[in-house]
């Protein structure tokens, strides 16, 4: 067992200081010290020896009244980073006015995990790539420069969009697809002060540095997630396709939000889960639909556009037709919603 210091600061400043004071050893991690919230991802990867922080900074003593709070107003949602997934899933305004967010939470993991897991931790969860999780394999994300065992290995779960020659790992989360579709932002605090980051800019594609997964600086904390309300938020849903209908990550998924004028699409928001290396907004598909009547033909054209640049490997080519069907079905089911 790797020994580590455990800190429980009660303020944001103290948490940032504690994270910066820690050192790293063993396989690379992104920050000197590591934050832990619900711990459902972090303890998993510490037990597997994938993450070996020398300092673990537990942020659960930050004031709950501020950071575990859901605020709603006509302009949108403000979600504290320590809000638990189950807490957000149960919120009546999220259920009625932001159904796509409710769906992404409800369809993730299990209720027991969602009782523990925080929203901030959820968006920063790390990939489930089998070769990342098992330290005897080469993996550029875990051990930069060592190679990627998935390229010619068992890559059925892996990404067909946004990959590089260095990493094809899928971004595993669901909630992030709702956030990117709805133009969310995150508010952070770090050693260099506060900033607001578009959710679409938070995660970075693997490129030549798959070990770098976000634009967050060492010791930078996510404090809030903001979701603006729009004419599309109420007519929205998340369709998640998986091998087993519970307790499974997505093979393919589509978060859809629509603003309709009769059958015509004023605006469509589409994000894809299970198929890309980062939360993935399908702008090309949205452009196909804008101003058109939504029916099976136009939905199919949009789905084709979404996967036009897909690159497949030996075992994951099935994700392209499945992903297209997921988009078509999600669009038509969202259109049929009674709002
Ligand atoms: C068996 C299983 C099945 C699952 N299935 C799904 C699924 O279907 N869909 C899905 O979306 N997820 C799924 N998950 C993932 C689960 O949702 C995440 O583990 C959870 O949301 C992470 O939240 P946490 O608070 O426990 O994060 P932690 O484990 O505490 O932290 C995760 C990461 O985020 C960092 N972090 C946490 N909070 C902050 C913050 N505020 N600021 C900066 N950094 C922070 C930590 O340092 C760490 O790197 C599954 C998990 C398990 C174990
Ligand atoms: S796909 Fe990425 S995470 Fe998986 S083995 Fe390759 S480099 Fe590692």
Residues 6+ apart with CB under 8 A from 336: none
Measure the CA dihedral 305/308/314/317, to 10°: 20
Stated pTM of the model: 0.97
Mutate to test the pocket of ligand 2, among 131, 151, 162 (most ligand atoms within 8 A of CB): 131
User: What pLDDT digit, counting tens, does each position of 135-170 carry?
Assistant: 999 999 999 999 999 999 999 999 999 999 999 999
What is the pLDDT, as a whole number, of residue 330?
Answer: 98
What is the pLDDT, as a whole number, of residue 1?
Answer: 72
Is the shortest distance between the CB of 50 and ligand 2 below 6 Å?
no
What is the pLDDT, as a whole number, of residue 3?
Answer: 85
CA–centroid distance, 36 to ligand 1, in Å, is: 9
Residues 6+ apart with CB under 8 A from 261: none
Please report, in angstroms and rounded to a whole number, the separation of the first and last CA atoms in the chain: 53
Which numbered atom of ligand 2 lies nearest the CA of 148? Answer: 6
Residue in the block written with tokens 């190679």: 147
Taking 70 as the pLDDT cut, the residues of the chain under it are 22-32
What is the pLDDT, as a whole number, of residue 35?
Answer: 96
What is the pLDDT, as a whole number, of residue 80?
Answer: 98
Strands 5-7 and 55-58 turn out to be parallel
Is the shortest distance between the CB of 159 and ligand 2 below 6 Å?
no
């Amino acid at each position: 067992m790797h020994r580590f210091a455990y800190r429980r600061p009660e303020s944001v400043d103290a948490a940032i200081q504690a994270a910066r004071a820690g050192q790293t050893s063993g396989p690379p991690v992104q920050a000197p010290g590591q934050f832990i919230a619900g711990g459902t991802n972090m303890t998993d990867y510490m037990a597997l020896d994938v993450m070996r922080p020398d300092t673990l900074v537990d942020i659960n003593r930050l004031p709950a009244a501020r950071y575990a709070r859901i605020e709603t107003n006509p302009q949108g949602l403000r979600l504290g980073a320590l809000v638990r997934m189950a807490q957000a899933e149960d919120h009546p305004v999220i259920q009625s006015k932001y159904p796509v967010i409710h769906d992404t939470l409800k369809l993730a993991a299990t209720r027991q995990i969602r009782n523990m897991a925080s929203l901030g931790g959820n968006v920063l969860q790390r990939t489930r790539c089998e070769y990342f999780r098992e330290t005897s394999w080469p993996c550029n994300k875990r051990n930069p420069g060592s190679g990627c065992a998935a390229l010619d290995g068992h890559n059925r779960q892996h990404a067909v969009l946004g990959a590089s020659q260095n990493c094809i790992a899928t971004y595993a989360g669901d909630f992030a697809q709702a956030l990117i579709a709805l133009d969310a932002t995150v508010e952070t605090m770090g050693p260099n002060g506060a900033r607001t980051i578009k959710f679409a800019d938070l995660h970075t594609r693997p490129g030549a540095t798959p070990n770098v997964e976000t634009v967050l600086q060492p010791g930078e904390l996510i404090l809030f997630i903001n979701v603006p309300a729009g004419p599309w938020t109420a007519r929205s849903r998340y369709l998640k396709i998986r091998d087993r209908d519970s307790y499974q990550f997505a093979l393919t998924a589509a978060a859809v939000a629509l603003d309709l004028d009769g059958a015509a699409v004023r605006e469509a928001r589409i994000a894809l889960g299970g198929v890309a290396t980062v939360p993935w907004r399908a702008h090309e598909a949205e452009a196909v639909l804008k101003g058109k009547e939504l029916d099976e033909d136009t939905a199919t054209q949009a789905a084709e556009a979404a996967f036009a640049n897909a690159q497949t490997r030996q075992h994951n080519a099935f994700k392209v037709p499945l992903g297209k069907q997921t988009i078509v079905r999600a669009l038509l089911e969202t259109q049929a919603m009674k709002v």
